[in-house]
Amino acid sequence: MSITDSQRRLVVMILSGGMLLLLTRQTNHLLAPWGLSLWLGGLLVAFPALHLNFRTGLVSCLATGLLLDVWSPLGFGTHALLFGLAHVVIFRIRNRLAASELTIGIIVALIANLALFVLLSFWTLGHAPVSGLRILSDLVMSQLVLAFITPWFFALQLRAISLILRPWRTRVRSGM
C-alpha cells in the first residue's frame, strides 16, 4: 500500500498546524501575566484553502480544528466546524484571487482570522464574560502577529510539502 501525494500533503498540514498550535499555546502562556492572548486560527485555514485540492484541504482544516478542540473549553467540534466552513468559503472564492501571491495569502489569513475570532467571541460571550477592551486588544495583537508570521508559516508549509513529495530515491542519489 503506497501513500499518495494527497495523503502526504495532509500529513504536512496537520503536523505544521499542530506545531503552530503548540507555539501559540506557549506564547499565550508567556502573555498570560499581562492578560493577553493570541489566536491564529485564520492562518491554519488559509494555506490549505488556497493551495490544496478541496478534499485534502477540508480534511486538513477539520483535523487541525479537532486538534484545537482538544485544548479548548468549548464543545468538541466547534473549531473543526468553523475551520471547515472557513475552508469552504475561501476555496469557493480562490479562483477569483491570485492565490499564489504571498500578499493575497496574508490578506486571506487576516480576513479569515478576523471572521473566526469574531464568531468565536460571540459564541463564547455568554459563557465567560470578558471586557470589550480585552477582546479588542487580543484581536489587534493577533492580527499583527499573524501578518508578520504568515510568510514564515507559508514558506514552512511549502518547503515541507516540496521535501515530502520529492521521491526518496532522488534525495538519496543527490546526497541529501
Report the chain's mean pLDDT, rounded to a whole number: 87
pLDDT, tens digit, 9 for 90 and up, residues 88-101? 999 999 999 888 88
Residue numbers of the domain that contains 89: 5-174
Query: How many structural domains comprise the chain?
Result: 1
Q: Positive or negative, the Cα torsion across 128, 132, 133, 135?
A: positive
114-139 mean pLDDT: 80
Q: What is the pLDDT of residue 54?
A: 94
Q: What is the DSSP string of 95-145?
A: GGS-TTSHHHHHHHHHHHHHHHHHHHHHHHTTTS---HHHHHHHHHHHHHH
| Nearest alpha-carbon partner for 114 in 81, 68, 147, 66 | 147
Mean pLDDT of 7-16: 89
Find the mean pLDDT for residues 122-133.
70
Q: Kindly state the average pLDDT of the residues 112-119.
A: 94
